[in-house]
A and B are shown apart, each in its own frame.
Chain A
Amino acid sequence: MNAEPVMNQDTFPTEPTHRWADDGGVLTEERSPEPDSVEQESVEQESVEQKSVEQESAEQKSAEQESAEPESAELEPAEPQTSMETSSKATSDPVVSGPLLSDAAEQAFLSRWAEIQVGFVEDPPQSVRDADQLIDEIAAALLEAFQARRTDLAADWQDGSPGTEELRLALRRYRAFVGVILPK
Chain B
Amino acid sequence: MIIAAVFAVIAIVLVIAFAAYSGRHEYTKRRIRTAFGPEYARVRAEQGGTRAADRELARRSQMHDRLPLEPISANDREFYATSWQHIRGGFLDDPGVAVTSAAQLLTRLLEARGYPVDDQGEQLALLSVRHGPALADYRQALWVSERLRTNPASMPTEAKREALMQYQTLFEDLLTEPGAAVSRRIKESEVTP
Residues of A whose CB lies within 8 Å of any CB of B are 28, 31, 33-35, 37-38, 41-42, 45, 55-58, 60-61, 64, 114, 117-122, 124
In the complex, chain B residues 70-116 whose Cβ is within 8 Å of any chain A Cβ: 82-83, 85-95, 97-98, 101
Q: Is B156 a contact partner of A41 (Cβ separation < 8 A)?
A: no
Q: Is A33 a contact partner of B94 (Cβ separation < 8 A)?
A: no
B165 part of interface (Cβ distance < 8 Å): yes
B118 part of interface (Cβ distance < 8 Å): no
Enumerate the 10 nearest inter-chain pairs by beta-carbon distance, A residue then B residue, closest first. A33-B86, A38-B89, A118-B89, A118-B88, A117-B89, A121-B88, A121-B164, A121-B91, A121-B161, A28-B93
A contact residues around B161 at 8 Å (CB)? 121, 124
How distant is the Cα of A38 from the Cα of B82 in the complex, in angstroms? 12
Give min CB distance, A12 to chain B, whole Å: 25
Residues of B whose CB lies within 8 Å of any CB of A are 82-83, 85-95, 97-98, 101, 153, 156-158, 161, 164-165
A contact residues around B156 at 8 Å (CB)? 56, 58
A contact residues around B87 at 8 Å (CB)? 33
B interface: dominant SS: helix
Give min CB distance, B135 to chain A, whole Å: 20
Q: Is A33 a contact partner of B157 (Cβ separation < 8 A)?
A: no
How distant is the Cα of A64 from the Cα of B92 in the complex, in angstroms? 10
Q: Is A55 a contact partner of B88 (Cβ separation < 8 A)?
A: no
Q: Is B86 a contact partner of A120 (Cβ separation < 8 A)?
A: no
- Report the nearest A residue to B90, measured CB to CB: A33
- Report the nearest A residue to B168, measured CB to CB: A121
- Report the nearest B residue to A60, measured CB to CB: B93
Q: Is B158 a contact partner of A118 (Cβ separation < 8 A)?
A: no
Q: Is B92 a contact partner of A60 (Cβ separation < 8 A)?
A: yes
- Contact of A61 with B94 at beta-carbon distance under 8 Å, contacts A35-B86, A38-B86, A56-B157 already known: yes
B contact residues around A117 at 8 Å (CB)? 89, 92
B contact residues around A114 at 8 Å (CB)? 89
Give min CB distance, A52 to chain B, whole Å: 12
A contact residues around B97 at 8 Å (CB)? 31
Give min CB distance, B154 to chain A, whole Å: 11
Question: 18 more A-B contacts (CB under 8 A) besides A60-B93, A114-B89?
Answer: A31-B94, A33-B87, A33-B90, A35-B86, A37-B89, A38-B89, A38-B90, A42-B92, A56-B158, A58-B157, A60-B92, A61-B94, A64-B93, A118-B85, A118-B89, A120-B92, A121-B164, A121-B165
- Contact of A41 with B92 at beta-carbon distance under 8 Å, contacts A33-B101, A56-B158 already known: yes
A contact residues around B92 at 8 Å (CB)? 41-42, 45, 60, 117, 120
How distant is the Cα of A45 from the Cα of B158 in the complex, in angstroms? 20
Give min CB distance, B15 to chain A, whole Å: 58
How distant is the Cα of A119 from the Cα of B95 in the complex, in angstroms? 14
Q: Is B93 a contact partner of A33 (Cβ separation < 8 A)?
A: no
B contact residues around A60 at 8 Å (CB)? 92-95
